[in-house]
């Protein structure tokens, strides 16, 4: 440590004497040009005119009209008391009556705050994005759990994605999908995928080798081993992956108000831009209540886990 400190001090003194406090311009690389060129290429070749699928703009439009709009219409069309009953049933199934009471009170607080409809809009986006995240994430995780090579290839990619801030994901999705609720959902999916893949992979890999060996000795196929051995034994990890997917998706869907996702995200952005403390505060409180409810209905309690075990 003494030698390292001495070398650092000597380098600092030499740099100050030589006038090297600022990074030299000759050692910088301008990336704005290549990035803009890549963005223009994506817009020209992927946004529209792609054979069969039509382009990312068409995919976003179909996802909005075929998934997001029906979900939003269904949630906003339900009576408020039926939503509370559904939340109570889900929370009680996953946890205990205290869990159900907490979730119901959180949803009731949203109604009291007067932001029920935008909250249902936000909830529809979260449900759609979480469903896509889990389908893709579980599929990739199953492959990574079976293949060491795939797991090694994915590890650095997941590390990079998990170190990127949330706002960075909004930039490429706007270039690919434009603005609206679908781009916000796409950014949320990409942001939540690394955590889901990593947790699910570790859960499937952590299954007792003796149980797997017993299943193989009985002639179980890989699919039967997955359905009848790995998934049941890895259930706590899978539920944790679902919980993390919900939390991470909600976080990005909210900041998706910057790209036109509307609902509570728009209220937050409007409150920040206009200095409207009341609007921003109400939307923020509703987001907290929505997140609390989602956490309660996706995270089993310790007592429930002991009863099932």
Tens digit of each residue's pLDDT (9 = 90 or more) over 106-140: 999 999 999 999 999 999 999 999 999 999 999 99
> What number of CA atoms fall less than 13 Å from residue 178's CA on the CB side?
15
* C-alpha distance from residue 70 to each of 23, 78, 111 (Å): 54, 12, 21
Angle, vertex CA 78, rays to CA 75 and CA 83, nearest 5: 80
In the chain, what are the domain boundaries?
Answer: 56-308
How far, rounded to the nearest angstrom, does the alpha carbon of residue 236 sit from its chain's CA centroid?
Answer: 19
Q: What Å distances lie between residue 226 and 136, 205, 215, 235, CA to CA? A: 17, 11, 10, 12
Q: Tell me, what's the pLDDT at 302?
A: 46
Q: Which residues of the chain have pLDDT under 70?
A: 1, 11-23, 49-54, 300-309
Residue 15: its pLDDT value, please?
A: 64
The pLDDT assigned to 193 comes to 92
Distances (CA, A) of 209 to 146, 231, 309: 13, 14, 19
Give the end-to-end CA distance of the chain in Å, rounded to a whole number.
52
C-beta neighbour count of 77 within 10 angstroms: 9
Which residue is associated with the tokens 């017993």? 214
CATH for 56-308 (1.10.1240.10, 1.20.58.220, 3.50.50.60, 1.10.3720.10)? 1.10.3720.10
Helix (H, G, I), strand (E, B) or coil at 54: strand
Could you identify the residue written with the tokens 């001090």?
9
DSSP string, 242-308: HHHHHHHHHHHHHHGGGGT--HHHHHHHHHHHHT-HHHHHHHHHHHHHHHHHHHHHHS--HHHHHHH
Q: How many CB atoms lie within 10 A of CB 296?
A: 25
Amino acid 18: pLDDT: 60
Q: What is the pLDDT of residue 112?
A: 92
- For the chain, the residue count is 309
């Amino acid at each position: 440590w003494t030698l390292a400190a001495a070398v650092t001090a000597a380098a600092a003194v030499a740099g100050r004497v030589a006038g090297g406090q600022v990074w030299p311009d000759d050692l910088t690389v301008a990336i704005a040009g290549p990035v803009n060129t890549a963005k223009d290429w994506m817009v020209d070749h992927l946004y529209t005119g792609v054979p069969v699928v039509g382009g990312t703009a068409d995919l976003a439009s179909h996802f909005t009209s075929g998934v997001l709009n029906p979900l939003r219409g269904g949630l906003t069309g339900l009576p408020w008391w039926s939503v509370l009953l559904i939340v109570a049933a889900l929370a009680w199934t996953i946890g205990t009556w205290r869990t159900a009471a907490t979730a119901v009170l959180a949803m009731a607080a949203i109604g009291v705050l007067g932001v029920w409809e935008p909250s249902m809009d936000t909830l529809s986006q979260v449900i759609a994005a979480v469903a896509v995240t889990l389908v893709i994430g579980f599929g990739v995780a199953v492959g990574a759990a079976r293949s060491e090579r795939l797991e090694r290839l994915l590890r650095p990619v997941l590390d990079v994605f998990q170190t990127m801030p949330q706002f960075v994901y909004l930039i490429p999705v706007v270039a690919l999908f434009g603005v609206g609720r679908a781009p916000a959902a796409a950014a949320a999916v990409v942001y939540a995928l690394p955590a889901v893949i990593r947790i699910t992979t570790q859960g499937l890999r952590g299954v007792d080798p003796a149980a797997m060996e017993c299943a193989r000795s009985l002639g179980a196929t890989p699919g039967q081993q997955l359905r009848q051995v790995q998934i049941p034994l890895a259930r706590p990890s899978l539920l944790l992956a679902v919980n993390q997917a919900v939390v991470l998706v909600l976080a990005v869907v909210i900041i998706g108000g910057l790209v036109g996702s509307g609902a509570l995200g728009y209220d937050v952005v409007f409150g920040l831009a206009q200095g409207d403390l009341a609007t921003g505060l109400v939307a923020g409180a509703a987001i907290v209540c929505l997140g609390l409810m989602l956490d309660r209905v996706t995270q089993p309690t310790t007592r429930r886990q002991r009863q099932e075990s």
